[in-house]
Every structure is written in structure tokens, then in C-alpha cells.
Structure 1
């Protein structure tokens, strides 16, 4: 498992360089609503929430380049807001629309919990909480994290309910497609960031470039969007849903279920620093997995091996019958399918 940890050699052929936002960079946002939101405790908390979940711990966290460090949800959120900022600059949004779009871009992941999507299924199963619900509560000022976000939005005359609706993909205004389209800002930034994490070559193109083309309706270059959709398929199937990622997720979820009495609903709004402090054994298990399959088999609890777990297979494909003649065709051309099946940790480690 160590020699080819990601199982994603095909991703390495995608060579074009790109930029990914780091949380220790000066973000250079000029809009007051963005500056005020970044300074809040709920936003700063995202700097201590990993971007990829358990598989982040393949990296030790050192190094400046994207493939030598862990990424976090704050970096990703800043990156999505940067894409929104660039788009709004090019199309000349009104300040009212701009504030709404930038706030939604920055806050779209505000409710993510420790280990992100990895532990979320167990939190939802046991405590009825997920990042969608947590995000709505935070934006409305109804969570244990306080009312800072709602207060900032009100200060800049941004309706929290419209922010929530935009994040949820509802048709709020003419810019709703930036969040609801298959080629949405979150996906453009997130998939590019995932590719940058895999290896020393950075990701497909630049999400900024694609956003610029979105803003220029006469320049919808189908080949670029097709290439990005293929990248998304490869990132999911060669990396996120590859064997290593599924082993990490399965071990973390099984651990949480076995130790559920030591978890509470409130843990979802804490940080990974808090999680590590209280569950050192889980992170020790991650190191054993990286050390190799044999050690993981020898040291993980034997009874975990035959527990059935659900995994999702996702395929992203292009419907070639639909030409990308205008933005409305994006939903028709770029499709996905999901299939749920069961497996065991024993099979995943085989």
C-alpha cells in the first residue's frame, strides 16, 4: 500500500499547473462582507478541519507545495470565494448580488465536522447531524458557535435565508447556477485541489480560467469542460474512492461506532485538534494503514474485518448527444450515476 498509496497513476499525466489557496496566505479580498466573515470564529474553525477527511492523514502536513501537505476547509472556502469574486468582477454584479454570492461561496462548507465527509455518516446516523444542517444553523445563528455569521450578514444587508437557499442550489437569482450547476464553483475548486494533493504535478488547468470562460458566454469551450468532467471522474475513481480512501473511511467509521459512547452531537462542531486529543487510537490506526496492509491486519481489531459496510461507486460521464452551445446545456451534457454496494474491511485490505 505504501508503494502506490493513492492507486492513481493515471492522474499523474494531467500536467497543467494551477493555483490553490493556502490558509496562511493573505487572501486579498476587497469586499467588506468577505473580510468580516473570514475573521469570525466559525470561519477560522475551518482551518482546523481537513479537506479530504481521513485520507488527509496520508500526508504528515509538512511542505509548501500542494502535494506535500494536508489541505483544510478554510483554504477550500477561500478558494471558492476567489472564484466567485473573479466571476462577479467580470460580469459586473450589483453590490447586493455580489455580497450574496461571495457570502454563499465563503460559507458553503461552514458546517463541516472533524474528518469532514469521513465521519459525517456516523454523526448523521447516531445524532441526526450533517454539514448541511450544521451550516444552516450556523448561518442562522442557532448553533453552539454563536451568532457571529448572522450578525455580519445583517450588517451588510445580506439575507441569511437567501445565502442558505443559494448554497442549497435553489433558484435565488440569475447567478444560482454558480452553485447548482454540475460545473459549480465548489466542484471546480475542490476537484482541482484534490488533484493537486495527489502528486507533484498540479491539477488540470486553472479553475480561474474556467470561471472566466463562464463569464464570457460566447466562449464556452466544450473541450475544456469535457476535460474537467473527465478529471472529476478520475479523481473520484482513482483517488477518493480508491482502495486506500475506502480503507481509511471504513476504519474511521467503524472506530466511531465502536466508541460511540465517547462521542456527542456537539463534537461535530469541534475541530480535528479536539478529535485527536480525545481519540489518539484512531489516528494511530491511520499510521498502521499507511505502514502496510499486513500491519493493519495484525493490529486492527479482528472483529472489525467482517463487519459489512456500504460504499458508493460514482461515475461521471458526458452525454455526447447534447452540445455545449450555451450554459443551459451544462446540466444535460454532464451527468453522474451512483451505485451503493456492501463490502467488508477484510475485502478492502485484500
Structure 2
């Protein structure tokens, strides 16, 4: 009998080799116990060439890359920076919004380390990228010595030296705590100690300036391409919650509900970093209240969607709370605009409630 692990590995290999398309891969994975969860884990880790063949080109255009690079260089000039060190996995953990991917357009392994060394003038260098980066032609790939990966910090130093900027003022992202612009759950300095220690030791004449907050604000200003990608992610999230409303019923096993959620994301080519939905094991009782929040990642876009749903009969108290929630959401959508502070808006909404 063929083991389950071998069946999973065979399907992944056939997808990577182009012998299966995405739809057939998902269909076959769904027939294997645990296959849905395995597919959700595998798809984001496909090599760039496989992802391109199966899911199309990178989500953002070369023009979007040029726009981002121009805005970054304008900020650098304003702050007197000659160079920037922009690490991977130092953003929100969001598809192509992690800082290095934001600059490179992709190319970094989802769980791996990496960085972009970005000069004020000249070509940037991708460090430890696993796949080709759409917007950066120069790279220093991962290096192994005697089977052990060379620490990334040393490669960052080499990239800075290649650019002739070892004595310059260098902006860095992710080296301080309490910086605005980072995810509140991981806002404690995001560059590993070994990497940063190697950079500081290898560039003793450089001046480092952490600009995590400024870079976070820069990323928050979206282009039309980015807004479109976020809207598409939101539509998938809305579809997810519509599916939950339509299919969830009293007596339904929550395992089936989890499977429905996973399949919806897979069929739409999406993943989720935030999955704040508590589904207790067993059948769903009458009157049970679900609070669901998902952070949808799709094709370069990101959106968080929330849902509060009562299964079966709704109590009078829940009906009253629902009316208040709708009133507050309508008020927020109407009054949120450029230049408005979230804190001020929250005070106004608290006055309503």
C-alpha cells in the first residue's frame, strides 16, 4: 500500500514539474486525509518559476517597482541616507508586503531570511534570495560552506562593500523596539541578533539610522495597483464569510466548517495569516455566536475581514448589539477620510455607542 506521505510528495512533485495544473492538484489533495492542510502549506512555498507557470506572472508590474523605488529614494535623499538595509520577514508577514519583498517584487522564501541592500544611486542587491527577484537584477544568493549556510550578515556587509558604501550613512529597518509602522504583535525589533551583530562588526565606519516607522508609513500609501490587489483580497474574504453564512447550520460539525474555509481559500488562490476564528469541536449548538477574523493574502493584496454570526435563533440582546454594531460601522465608513485620525474617529464612535 502506498503511504499517505508518498502520495502527498508525489502530487507536489507533479505540480512542480508541470504534470498537474492547480485545479487538478487541489482536487487530488482534497481526497487525501490531511491533504487540504498540506496543500495550504505547500502552495506559498513553490519556486518562482513554478508559481509563474501555475499562477501567472508576479502580481505587480515593473512600473509599480519603479514607483516604489523612486519614493524610497526620495525619502532617503530627504533623510540624508546613502544606502538602506531592508531585511526580509521584518514587515507584517504579509505577501509581498514584507519589507525586502516590497522592494524586490518577490524572490524570498516565505520562511527564510534575506535582505535588500538599496543604494541612493545605482542598482540594489538582493541578499540570500532563493528565487529571481522581478525588480532587482543583482543578487548574492545563499551560500553554503561544508553544508552549513553562511550567515546572512556577512553577505550584507559584502553587498555594501561592493557598492562602495561601507563608510556611509545607512538606513535600516527592524532593529529597534517600539517603532510605529510595524505590526503590533511583532513590534520588538525584527532583525536577528547574529545578522545585526555581523553587520555592525563588518561595517565599523558606517552610521546606522533606524527608519522602521518612516518606511512603514511609506508602504501604507498605496498605488492604484496596490488598491486593486487589496480590493480583490477583500472580495475573497467577503466571499469566505458569505460561504460561512450560507452553509453553517445548527448541528453541523465544526470540522466540516474548517474544511469549507480551507477549501475556499485554496480554490481562490489565497492564504490567511490571521485566522482568529474559534470553532469548538463537535456539533454547533443553537444560538452559538461565532466571531471570525481572517487576514486574506492574495496576489500581492491584503485585507482583514471580520464576521460575527449567530447560528440558529438570535437572542434579543444579540439583535440589539447587532444594531449598534451596524450603526458604528456605517458611521466609521462615512467619516473615515484622508487626514482623519483613527483615535478621533474612535472617540466619536464611542459617543454613539
Range class of TM-score, shorter chain? under 0.3
TM-score (normalised: structure 2): 0.24
Higher relative contact order (CA 8 A, sep 6+): 1
**Higher relative helix content:** 1
**Higher relative strand content:** 2
TM-score (normalised: structure 1): 0.24
Larger radius of gyration: 2
